Chains A and B, each alone.
Chain A
Amino acid sequence: MTSRVPSLILGRLLIALVTLTIVSFAVFFATTLLPGDTATILLGQAATPEAIAGLRTAMHLDDPALLRFVYWIGGLFRGDLGTSYANHMPVATLISGRLANTLKLAGLTTLVSVPLALTLGITAAMWRRTLYDRIVTIATIGVISVPEFVLATLAVLVFAVYLKWLPALSFTYNVDSFSGLLRAYAMPVITLTFGVSAQMIRMTRAAVIETLNTPYVEMALLKGASRPRMVLRHALPNALGPISNAVALSLSYLLGGVIIVETIFNYPGIAKLMVDAVSTRDLPLIQSCAMIFCFGYLILITTADIVAILSNPRLR
């Protein structure tokens, strides 16, 4: 029997590529629809019409949109993200530092939240309808219902203002020691973990319970298997597909959706950079950030799909 896995994975990757192309179209043309003329914004209200016209020509702003899109895409392929309109620095330089910060925060949050969420989700499914399960369920629903800025503000209030354990702002440059790292990242990581774990816990629990109701898990019970064995050996492998998708969806939020957390903790991440770019109408920066978010999202979702394919022996 020939394996269908390579062709399936190739198909997924192709779909991801097509999606990326469509998104780049959307990003480019959506940003050109932003109100206001870039040249006027750059030169200020007092600029002469001649100066504005000159700048427009220099920046190719008068070329047809399709042509500018081709220039832009060509630049992306050569690794040239363009030059920021606002401060004339290469976009790549602006982004690289911020992206590293965001990835660091996202990575740390992933390390904390994924094991935590999977453990809680699986154990809640394992001891379904017990007091433990109820407590986990109520807690997760509670956390989902509280908006992130409330959580973040509460964290600052409790840990920084009353207890004075942690700094209110995450100054990432003094993280040379482990305790320093802990102090700088503790609050943003806690806040984000709350936000992303809740979804993962719910989805994991639901996926595992779904497989727990199948005849083969009942068969395992009738073979004398213990509860942990039924869940870990029989239910979990068959729930991997939906779980990995839930994890990917939750984690994708860590890339672009963390603006509130970054603002409250004054964390210099990429989401904050993008919001700043929108306020200065810095098109190359906005476009690059959007493309990075989309790219990260696609990587996560495609990975989840591939995990789902690999965990299914019918496709292997």
Chain B
Amino acid sequence: MTNLVEIRALTVEATTDSGRKIQILKGIDLDIAAGETVAFIGESGSGKTTAAMTLLGHARPGCRISGGTVKVDGHDMATLPEKERAALRGTTVAYVPQSAAAAFNPASTIMDQVIEVTRIHRLMPPDEARRRAVALFRALSLPDPDGIGDRYPHQVSGGQLQRLAAAMALIGDPKVVIFDEPTTALDVTTQVEVLRAFKAVTAQHRIACVYVSHDLAVVAQIADRIMVLRNGAVQETGSVHDILTRPAHPYTQELLHAFHPDTGGREALPVADSAAPLLEINTLSAGYGPPQSNGQPLVLAVKGVSLQVKRGTNLGIIGESGCGKSTLARAIAGILPACKGDIQFNGKELWHSARQRSHDQLRDLQIVFQHADTALNPAKSIEDILGRPLTFYHGLRGKARDARVDALLDMVRLPRALRHRRPAELSGGQKQRVNFARALAAEPKLILCDEITSALDTVVAAAVIDLLKELQRELGLSYVFISHDLSVIEAICDEIVVMYRGQTVETIIPADRQPPQHPYSQLLFSSVPKLDPTWLDTLNIDADRMRVA
């Protein structure tokens, strides 16, 4: 008997803007049996999503399947006419997108979109489809399964939308479902619930899955086999156990290594053990919206947070999205003036608004934003981007400025030749280094890093973290490191503050190796996926109960 999915010598070709043709998939072979889950893993640009999409006979605009066969249930998706391909989409092969928030049409209700597959392919009458959808909502443990379908996409949370997207894929009873990084955009605590729901439903219906991800630990929970991709070619295929315990290919080893960030190697600095901390904030509150009668903004995102950063040490702030951690950073930096509390920096009281702070205070406290793509002016060369703060803070011009730009590029391990390029011509990791170098240009004492590794691949992120540690050794900086990723924070921080709903719930010192005390921190820490494939099944947490506590 042949397999459900048989991919042979598959190549996909892309045409660049300049008309050059490049191969983005270079001959892939893969078999998937019915009911089996295969994970495609690799960094961004490795071709994993492109490979998964060929199962639907789809190539993104500018790309085309240029050779090989993709047999799904006996049909070659690569050569089928568009009409017949469309007939198989949603019924034989279905797709769960990376960002469900973007993949739902904002103008129609969730139910309409979930049952659209049955309407397109005339599978069943709408009433029956609705009943089926509600059953699926229940199976995916969505709240209010009877009523959630009447809402619009903007009225439900990201984790719920991701599960609704799965319901949308499952309603047509497909034989293969493609999950395209379905939990990447979610918090770890939500990710656990979503993964569980996916696993239960696909096992129950014996659906074959293709699970695209860059997160080995997530994949370990859900897949039977792993295919490691890099630069459009398969590096290694094997069972989860084999890949995790005996990675044969160097790239797989690198991936596994990146998963265990080096927590050591950052020996305590010769701290001038002065009692005065570098940064101290007391009962700081900040929020958004017009001020109310009590002088507070409409929505209070940070509620009376107090913390300290000692000279030469790093503070990590962790919490789920919406907990106020980025708002806190913006309030410290003075971009969003705090409405209450005080900020002491380097022994001096700081104004709440950056506009009123002195030149030196601005220089000493720099912030690095999460998305280097949007934080760097796309119209300026790297040289200009790094040169501006040099002129602004240090009055450097001409040769002196050029030399300093070179020095900064050296510091962040970027080739000097990059100085003439624009941000769009750099990779994600390179852009984040430039973003960081711009903060370094001011020669600050403290850098606020707001999720700076979240948009990066595991391997690249690990390299950026190593760089940060090294620069700290050389320049005696302090970091306030904001992230939702515990492993990143543990790798670099001396002290971790857990934030939840605008407040700090616990301070943890990793060196003490004390288990977290607060129920929310316990939930957060236990939700971080482990490489152990049995982790998800043995995990015993009740997220809702812990959240309320």
Enumerate chain A interface residues (CB-CB to B < 8 A).
1, 214-226, 229, 233-234, 237-238, 311-314
Contact = CB atoms under 8 A, between A and B. Distances in A.
B169 to A, nearest CB: 9
Q: Which of A219, A222, A226, A313 has the most CB of B within 10 A?
A: A222
Given A224-B89, A224-B121, A313 B106 contact: yes
A222 B56 contact: yes
Contact of B99 (A1, A215, A222): A215
Given A224-B91, A311-B107, A219 B117 contact: no
A219 B103 contact: yes
B106 A220 contact: no
Which one of A216, A234, A237, A238 has the greatest number of beta carbons of chain B within 10 Å? A216
A219 B60 CA distance: 12
A217 B104 CA distance: 9
A238 B87 contact: no
Nearest to A224: B89
B159 interface: no
A314 B97 contact: no
Contact of A314 (B60, B86, B152): B152
Considering the complex of A and B, which 8 residue pairs feature the smallest CB-CB distances, nearest first?
A: A224-B89, A237-B107, A215-B102, A224-B90, A219-B103, A222-B95, A216-B105, A223-B90
Contact of B86 (A215, A225, A312): A225
Contacts of B154: 313-314
Contacts of A229: 120
B89 A314 contact: no
Given A223-B168, A225-B86, A313-B154, A234 B105 contact: yes
A226 B86 CA distance: 7
B126 to A, nearest CB: 15
A215 B95 CA distance: 12
Contacts of A314: 106, 152, 154
A225 B120 contact: yes
A90 B70 CA distance: 80
Contacts of B87: 224
B3 interface: no
Contacts of A221: 58, 89
A53 B155 CA distance: 71
A216 B102 contact: yes
Interface in B70-94: 86-91, 94
A217 B107 CA distance: 12
A223 B152 contact: no
Given A229-B120, A313-B152, A313-B154, A222 B58 contact: yes
B90 A216 contact: no
B45 to A, nearest CB: 19
Contacts of A224: 86-91, 117, 120-121
B116 interface: yes
A226 B85 CA distance: 11
A225 B103 contact: no
Contacts of B91: 224
Contacts of A215: 97, 99, 102-103
Contacts of A238: 105-107
B427 interface: no
Contact of A222 (B89, B102, B108): B89
Nearest to B102: A215
B63 to A, nearest CB: 13
A214 B102 CA distance: 8
Contact of A216 (B88, B95, B103): B103
A223 B103 contact: no
A218 to B, nearest CB: 8
A58 to B, nearest CB: 54
A221 B57 CA distance: 11
A225 B154 CA distance: 23
Nearest to B116: A223
Contacts of A219: 95, 97, 103-105
A223 B106 contact: no
A271 B94 CA distance: 59
Contacts of B104: 216, 219
Nearest to B99: A215
A314 to B, nearest CB: 5
A314 B152 CA distance: 8
Given A218-B60, A314-B106, 9 more contacts: A216-B103, A216-B105, A224-B90, A224-B91, A226-B86, A226-B120, A237-B105, A237-B107, A312-B107
A223 B90 CA distance: 5
A218 B90 CA distance: 13
Interface in B106-125: 106-108, 116-117, 120-121
Contacts of B60: 218
A219 B120 CA distance: 13
Contact of B107 (A218, A220, A225, A313): A313
Contacts of B117: 223-224
B99 to A, nearest CB: 7
Interface in B313-345: none
A229 B495 CA distance: 54
Given A313-B154, A314-B152, A220 B105 contact: yes
Contacts of A218: 60, 97, 103
Contacts of A313: 106-108, 152, 154
Nearest to A235: B105
Contacts of B168: 223
B90 A222 contact: yes
Contacts of B102: 214-216
Contacts of B107: 237-238, 311-313
A217 B97 CA distance: 12
A225 to B, nearest CB: 5
Nearest to A311: B107
30 contacts: A1-B155, A214-B102, A216-B104, A216-B106, A217-B105, A218-B60, A219-B97, A219-B103, A220-B105, A221-B89, A222-B89, A222-B90, A223-B94, A223-B116, A223-B117, A223-B120, A223-B168, A224-B88, A224-B89, A224-B120, A225-B116, A226-B120, A234-B105, A237-B108, A238-B107, A312-B106, A312-B107, A313-B154, A314-B152, A314-B154
A229 B117 CA distance: 12
A245 B104 CA distance: 25
Contacts of B103: 215-216, 218-219
